[in-house]
Every structure is written in C-alpha cells, then in structure tokens.
C-alpha cells in the first residue's frame, strides 16, 4: 500500500453534521443486485490502529448482511456471501472508516468473482489506491453453504428467509429476525452494533 499525504486523499474535508470528532465515523455502503443499496452510518470507539478498526467492523458484518432479502450484486441470484472493504482513514484528525459491502451469490463463481474484483478496483481508484490490491476470497470448506442474506440474523435457516413478516430491530433499523424469540437470543451479540448505528437508509427496493 503506497503512502499518501492528507491532501492527496478524498474524504478528508471538514467534519460533517453526523460525525463526532471523538469517535471513529463509519460510513457504510451496502450493495446488492438491481440497484439494491443501503447506507448505514455508525459511531465506534476511536481507534487509529487500522487492523483493529477493520476487525471491529468485520465482527459486525452479520448485522449488516442480514438486513434485507439481498441478491447478488453481479448476477441477481439470491446472495449468500459478502465481501467487506474498508478504507484506512483512521489515522487522520477526523477518524473515518469508509466501508463497502458487496452481496455475492457464490465467491467461487468465476464471473461474479471477476466482477467483484472490478468493483474493488473501481473503488480503490476513487480512493487513490490506498486500499491496495483486491484480496482473494477465503477458501470455503468442501460442501460449505453459507446462509442466505435474506435469512434471520440469529437462526439463519433457509425457512426464515421465506418469513413474510420479518422483524427489524427497532433500535438500529437494520438487522432482521424471523421472530421476537430470535431477536432476544441475538441481543447479547447484536447490541454493540445496534447502539453504534446512527442512521440507516435503504433504496432500490420495491415499496
């Protein structure tokens, strides 16, 4: 990863109205097929150690993944896997962590893998190459099938993806559950992300 000066980088302007100078300001964009998109903003404890900040965000990917009946960003098949990209702007006076999350049907599908790399390269160019090269997908165990993004964040069953009245967390307005029981069971895990979420907007979905 090449070293860049502050003046070389986009996104290092004045403090925005939703940001907190004492926090790590997470601006997350989530993408699916046919224009599906979510924009989630979070305040996390300020952390200028990029690897620690990235791992904190990865620990919350489940909360963002199980938020809508997402389809693959590249072929529109039901999504089961995600890749999260984070941009290391945590070292600057305004601590920021832009996040890009892509819903994918199967990372082993060559066409979708190539499209995912192209998406990474496009975002990386916009950030002047600070993200570095596209990481290869983590190898799945033979026969491993990940849960549908449309399924419940707690039980993650195939059946839960077909529940008509999925419950959305009333706090963060992001994570979905198939029942009040599942929401209650998941609260010890979910509460950190829930309390960190400042706003969430979804677009590209039928009314």
DSSP-derived secondary structure for the chain: -----GGGSTT-SSPPTT--TTEEEEEEEEE-STT-EEEEEEEEE----HHHHHHHHHTTHHHHHTTS--B-TTT-SBP-EEEEEE--BTTSSS-EEEEEEEEES-TT-HHHHHHHHHHHHHHHHHTTTTT-SPPPPPPPPTT--PPPTTS-TTT--TGGGG-TTPEEPTTTS--EESSHHHHHHHHHHHHHHHHHEEEEEEESS--
Can you give the pLDDT at residue 6?
47
Which residue in 13, 171, 190, 5 sits closest to 98, CA to CA? 13
Whether 62 maps to a domain, the answer reads yes
Q: Residue 75 above 80 pLDDT?
A: yes
Mean per-residue pLDDT, 85-96: 90
Whether 4 maps to a domain, the answer reads no
Can you give the pLDDT at residue 11?
60
Mean per-residue pLDDT, 166-179: 96
pLDDT-based confidence at residue 63 (cuts at 50, 70, 90): very high
**In angstroms, what CA-CA distances link 155 with 23, 30, 140, 184?**
32, 22, 21, 12
Can you give the pLDDT at residue 9?
64
Of 7-16, 53-62, 197-206, which range is least confident?
A: 7-16
Q: Residue 138 above 90 pLDDT?
A: no
Mean per-residue pLDDT, 138-151: 89
Residue-wise over 169-190: b if at least 16 C-beta within 10 A, else e?
Answer: beebebbbbbbeebbeebeeeb
pTM score: 0.91
Q: Structurally, how many domains does the chain consist of?
A: 1
Mean per-residue pLDDT, 45-66: 94
Mean per-residue pLDDT, 123-151: 88
Q: Residue 2 above 70 pLDDT?
A: no
Whether 91 maps to a domain, the answer reads yes
What is the pLDDT of the chain when averaged over all its residues? Answer: 91
Can you give the pLDDT at residue 181?
96
Q: Residue 5 above 50 pLDDT?
A: no
pLDDT-based confidence at residue 205 (cuts at 50, 70, 90): confident
Can you give the pLDDT at residue 142?
85
Whether 121 maps to a domain, the answer reads yes
Whether 169 maps to a domain, the answer reads yes
Whether 77 maps to a domain, the answer reads yes
pLDDT-based confidence at residue 50 (cuts at 50, 70, 90): very high
For a pLDDT cut of 70, what percent of the chain falls above it?
A: 94
Can you give the pLDDT at residue 207?
58
Parent domain of 182: 21-133+149-201
Whether 1 maps to a domain, the answer reads no
Can you give the pLDDT at residue 124?
92
Whether 143 maps to a domain, the answer reads no
């Amino acid at each position: 990863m090449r070293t860049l000066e502050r003046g070389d980088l986009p996104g290092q302007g004045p403090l925005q109205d939703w940001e907190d100078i004492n926090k790590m300001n997470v601006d997350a964009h989530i993408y699916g097929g046919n224009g599906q998109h979510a924009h989630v903003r979070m305040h996390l404890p300020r952390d200028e150690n990029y690897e620690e900040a990235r791992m904190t965000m990865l620990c919350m990917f489940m909360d963002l993944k199980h938020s809508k009946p997402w389809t693959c960003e590249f072929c529109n098949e039901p999504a089961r896997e995600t890749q999260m990209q984070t941009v290391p702007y945590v070292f600057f006076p305004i601590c920021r962590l832009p996040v890009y999350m892509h819903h994918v049907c199967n990372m082993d599908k060559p066409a979708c893998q190539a499209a995912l790399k192209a998406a990474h390269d496009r975002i990386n160019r916009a950030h002047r190459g600070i993200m570095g090269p596209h990481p290869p997908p983590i190898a799945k165990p033979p026969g491993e099938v990940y849960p549908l993004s449309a399924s419940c964040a707690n039980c993650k069953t195939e059946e839960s993806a077909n529940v008509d009245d999925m419950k959305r967390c009333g706090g963060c307005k992001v994570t979905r559950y198939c029942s009040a029981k599942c929401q209650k069971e998941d609260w010890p895990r979910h509460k950190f992300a829930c309390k960190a979420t400042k706003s969430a907007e979804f677009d590209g979905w039928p009314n």
